[in-house]
Chain A
Amino acid sequence: VSEPWGFRVQLASLETFAEAVRTTRDEYAAMNGQLAAADPAQREATLYGLVMLPGSRAVDEKCHAVVTAYKSLYSKVAWAQTVIKAQLDVIAANVTETHQLYSDVETRHEAMFRGLLAGDLGERPGPDDGPA
């Protein structure tokens, strides 16, 4: 746990969480690709009946009402998935950054302890050495 540098981390928990975030983020990315590929707006015309025929006009109007609502809901769900994926990207980046900060702190700790250790070996007087 590194606390004096403005954050606290239990590495094992963070790593488990980081893995879950990455997996989820990657699956959201794949899902967003699938949603884009199946976007009804791309082949909308294939969903309609014949137009300009008196006998089929009523059906055609209702088909348009269904497809319009369907497209609208589809785009809303796709938008939600995009927002969630983008936020998972942010969390994944933050987790990585936390790891990096933790690594920096560890490096500084190590350097400091090495310095202290070198002092114990007589290169510099320590507090228990008494007056120099």
Chain B
Amino acid sequence: MAPPDRDDYPRRPDSRAVLERRKIDSDAHSRMAHNAGRLASWVEWLLHPEEHEFDRRVNYPGGPSMEVTERVTKANQTPGNFEPVDVPFESVIARFDLDQFFDGMAAFATQEVETPRSVLSPAAAAMKNVWWLGDKRMLELVAKKPTEEQWSGTAADKARTFIEDVTTAVTQLNKIAEEFADMVPRYALIVKGARDNLDRAAAEAVAAFEKKFSERPPDISVDIKGIVIAAIVAGATAYATGGLALPLIKEAMIGAAWSKTFEEAAGILESKVRGHVGGPLWIDLAKTYMRTQADILADAIRSLEILASDYQGLIGRFDTDVYPILKNYVQ
């Protein structure tokens, strides 16, 4: 339900511009755009009580300031004017700007990661293939390496030395490639997890706003469920080939594996209560939404930090275990 006399999208140009700048407007391709529009419509309505006759904070002269559900008027003090005038009022969420409700969505609006067209999809497949190549073909090569009796001479010695060296390097490289293949989709899963959680938060905030306006309960508490994003980088998720035979070469196979990775992650990552929108006043609903949004962002930021650190760890292992061997063979 949209605010009274409104629809599920803000009507003010300045409000629409906020969504456009954040790439979550109705023309954007973000799947968060729908709930962003609904939330923006409510926030816009709450921020501009001068445009309607409903909820506002009235500042009684010399008295209290309080939320009310309708216009409060007083006698007109201007001589010759008899129309009552509004008691001074402001928005029930005057301390906030519309922008602030969309900081989280803006942060995750544009990364192209969920679609199989993402540059990450073929990269994960390539890394899995690197692992496969080292695991299968190099082992075969080692097994078929001729002995001194079967092939001797300078070229044979060089070949044997390289194969022995490369066996060590490939063993280490394979451990790195295997972990790397699992880490590539984690960036995508963090972004997706943040989007899902933020989208849910916006939807639940709208639900709370609707309930407060239509039912006028003394207090509201709407839970916001979502995944714990940190679980993604705690090793819970992996690149899933979905039983497809390696190596993954064809585009359709690579796309299927990428989609399967998200499917399997969805089955692993448990949905829990991540926050709530609640309280007796409109300002309480706004504040609790902001807190939930901040918590989701903090979870995502911490997960990105861990992922970056994990990458640095693999880079260190490469530099220590692989590079010193292979640099001797650079021509």
Q: Which residues of A contact B268 (CB under 8 A)?
A: none
Name the one of A9, A58, A73, A83 contacting B315, with C-beta atoms under 8 angstroms: A73
How far, in angstroms, from A127 to B304 measured CA to CA in the complex? 87
Category for how many chain B residues contact A: 35 or more
Given the contacts A7-B152, A98-B151, A62 and B133 also touching, CB distance less than 8 Å: no
Contact status A62-B119, CB under 8 Å:
no
Q: A27-B133, A46-B111, A77-B177 are in contact. Are A56 and B304 (CB under 8 A)?
A: no
Q: Which residues of A contact B176 (CB under 8 A)?
A: 73, 77
A7 touches B311 (CB 8 A): no
- Complex partner residue of B156 from A7, A28, A30, A90, CB under 8 angstroms: A7
Chain B interface helix/strand/loop/mixed: helix
Residues of B within 8 A of A30 (CB): 249
Q: Hey, what's the 0/1 contact readout for A59-99 against B, CB within 8 Å counting as 1?
A: 11011011101101110110011011011001100110110
Contact assessment for B180 and A83 in the assembled complex, using a CB-CB cutoff below 8 Å: no
Contacting A55 at CB < 8 Å: which of B104, B141, B173?
B104
Provide the residues of chain B in CB contact with A40, threshold 8 Å.
Answer: 119-120, 123
B130 and A83 within 8 A (CB): no
Q: Pick the residue among B109, B127, B150 that contacts A10 (CB under 8 A).
A: B150
- Interface on B for A, CB 8 Å cutoff? 21-23, 99-100, 102-104, 106-113, 118-120, 122-123, 125-127, 129-130, 133, 137-138, 140-141, 144-153, 155-156, 158-159, 162-163, 166, 169-170, 173, 176-177, 180, 183-184, 187, 247, 249, 297, 300-301, 304-305, 307-308, 311-312, 314-315, 318-319, 322-323, 326, 329-331
Q: Which residues from chain A sit less than 8 Å from chain B, CB to CB? A: 3, 6-10, 13-14, 16-17, 20-21, 23-24, 27-28, 30-31, 34-35, 37-40, 42-44, 46-50, 53-56, 58-60, 62-63, 65-67, 69-70, 72-74, 76-77, 80-81, 83-84, 86-87, 90-91, 94-95, 97-98
Nearest 3 interchain pairs by C-beta? A55-B103, A7-B153, A69-B311
